[in-house]
Structure 1
Amino acid sequence: QFFANLPTEEIFTTPDRLRADGYVTTTKPVSVLDVKTEEVRLVFKDGKVIDYSAREGKEAMDTFFSIDEGTRRLGEVALVDETSPIAQSNYIFNSILLDENASCHLALGDGYPTALANGALLSTDEQLHEAGCNTSLMHVDFMIGSKDMDIDATTGDGKTFAVMRKGVFVF
């Protein structure tokens, strides 16, 4: 079976739940537990959100992070080109299945085992965690992309190459 987002404008993966350091700030509003949030700043250390703030919706973030330990870890990283039709519309649909296709985004919470080698064969939280996949009752996308975003990738042998410049894929 295949369940695609409609439209699908993203390239996504399941990140290692223990390997994120730094911070991001959302560039578009997102509903968290049916509450609008804006300018959510997330600070990561060793894959875990260790600090956060929000211009709007801080109380919803407090509740979100109290749901389970997995809400503080990444479940998805997605790249979306600023030339996507949804991004070009400059419209917030208030539906994550559409809005996530307007911007690069990170999801906090449950990861996608099918994005991992042999991930579909992993069935317990322990097996998923060992493979690097986060587990949670939640999965919420936070848009972080913009027309100013540059993204570089580093290969396993240390080579670096451009992936995005000014929010647009370069390959």
Structure 2
Amino acid sequence: METILRRYARLILSTQLKLERGDSLSINTEGTFMEFARLLAKVACEMTLQVVNIVETNHGKVVQVLQIDPVEPEIFRPETKGFVMCHLFGLDDTPYRGEEEPSSLANNVGLLGSFGLLSEPVFLDRRIAVPWANLPLPGPEWAMQLLGSTATETEMWNLFATLFRLEDDNGPVFWDSQANVLHFRKQKLNKLGPLALTVTGSGWTITTNMARDTLWAGGMHTVSSGRKFIPALPMQQVFTSLECTKTEGTISSSRPFLLLGKTVEEAMFTIEGGKVTSYTAVKGKEALDAFFSIDEGSRQVAELSLADDDTLESRYLEKGVHVHFNKAMTSHIVFGGFNLATLTTQNSSEAIEASRLSLSLVRLEVPVGSNSLSVQARDKEGNETLLMEEGVFID
């Protein structure tokens, strides 16, 4: 486990945050993960020759700020070049299954946040201008959801290492290569301009449009200074916002997924005018009832997220358990609030309305990826391009 953690620390700093000499790193963490935070800070000090701050919190409230100093005397340290942030969180911080009725949970914003269902706040004038990353650490509850109730600590760490490619020292090379693949896909898709999309799965089809003045996003991010970083690993997906009144057809979930403590299986949704008008589920319909009652926007189709079906994530994550991994697991249709990463020039609520973006307090990611998924695009001149066939991108 110690070897895995050291590789993870190197992956975070060199590949995700792309830490440079002179960078000032701030690590936000609950006390539970202080040992790993100290390891991360030690390695960061060696890379940056700068003081690293560890901000310890308790349920979001700051407990203390620790300064970890590099071994070099201050006179030999470089000037501060930039600021970088990261947040450690436990995969067991998310509640999984529960006995409470979903309808009672849906009325509590704090609980919605703990389930990972809240949309991003739409603050158009407060974009983060520094590299940052959300960094998960595994726990037994997370492992049991995927490996069964008898999962051991060794099995838990083996699964985590597999997902992050930490079995050897080649993880950074793999993720740098994957970042290039996703960058190429985004470039190709964005060159096509605004698209009308036809998405077809096993026994279902929807037609939809990209939202006005939005782009495909995913993978590597770039801040205003030009610095690049990866906010979350693993990454397999690119995604785009959809015009909230244009989606028509039906979709079916391709895998079970957790919602408000309940497992939802074989869900089917009928969509008219961009909104879910009816739905069924073999299991967990009460959770869907509760979700769609939260606000009017929760029924709107907000986003299409595409990931290759035959990936390591797709094979090891057979069901949607934790929102951190969902989009890398397979392709998704998202109901509720849009993702700010797809915006271009929108700087006001009027611009958001003009782009016909879906607004809601919450977001629900429904897995639809399979080896039968295809995506056909049509540009404004009427030219058609097949983007995905049999669940795999046509690069």
What is the TM-score with the length of structure 2 in the denominator?
0.41
Hey, what does 1:159 align to over in structure 2?
383
- 1:52-99 Cα offsets, whole Å, 9 max, x none, are 111111111111111000100022210111133201325336112213
Partner Cα separation in structure 2 for residue 59 and residue 50 of structure 1: 16
Partner Cα separation in structure 2 for residue 25 and residue 92 of structure 1: 14
Equivalent pair of 1:107/1:142 in contact (CA under 8 Å): yes
- What residue identity is the alignment partner of 1:87? S
Deviation at 1:127, TM superposition (A): 4.3
Deviation at 1:113, TM superposition (A): 3.3
Equivalent pair of 2:304/2:332 in contact (CA under 8 Å): yes
1:150 equivalent to 2:374? Answer yes
1:43 equivalent to 2:267? Answer no
Hey, what does 2:260 align to over in structure 1?
33
Structure 1's 93 and 142: CA in aligned 2 closer, same or farther, altered over 3 A?
closer
Partner Cα separation in structure 2 for residue 55 and residue 68 of structure 1: 24
Q: For 1:55, what is the secondary structure of its paired residue? A: coil
Equivalent pair of 1:38/1:55 in contact (CA under 8 Å): yes
- What residue identity is the alignment partner of 1:109? G
1:9 equivalent to 2:233? Answer no
- What residue identity is the alignment partner of 1:75? A
Q: What is the alpha-carbon root mean square deviation over aligned residues?
A: 1.7
Hey, what does 1:137 align to over in structure 2?
361
Deviation at 1:26, TM superposition (A): 0.2
Hey, what does 1:62 align to over in structure 2?
289
- What residue identity is the alignment partner of 1:146? S
Equivalent pair of 1:113/1:128 in contact (CA under 8 Å): no
Segments of 4+ in structure 1 off by > 3 A?
90-93
Hey, what does 2:335 align to over in structure 1?
108
Equivalent pair of 1:17/1:74 in contact (CA under 8 Å): yes
Partner Cα separation in structure 1 for residue 327 and residue 283 of structure 2: 19
Partner Cα separation in structure 2 for residue 29 and residue 20 of structure 1: 23
- 1:90-112 Cα offsets, whole Å, 9 max, x none, are 53361122132121101111102
Hey, what does 1:19 align to over in structure 2?
246
What is the TM-score with the length of structure 1 in the denominator?
0.90
1:78 equivalent to 2:305? Answer yes
Deviation at 1:32, TM superposition (A): 1.7
- Which structure features the higher share of helix residues? 2
Q: How many residues align?
A: 168
Equivalent pair of 2:326/2:365 in contact (CA under 8 Å): no
Equivalent pair of 2:255/2:320 in contact (CA under 8 Å): no
- What residue identity is the alignment partner of 2:366? F
Unaligned runs of 5+ in 1: none
Among the aligned pairs, what percent are the same residue? 26
- Which structure features the higher share of strand residues? 1
Q: Among 94, 109, 123, which residue is 2:321 paired with? A: 94
Larger radius of gyration: 2
Partner Cα separation in structure 2 for residue 12 and residue 86 of structure 1: 17
Unaligned runs of 5+ in 2: 1-127, 134-230
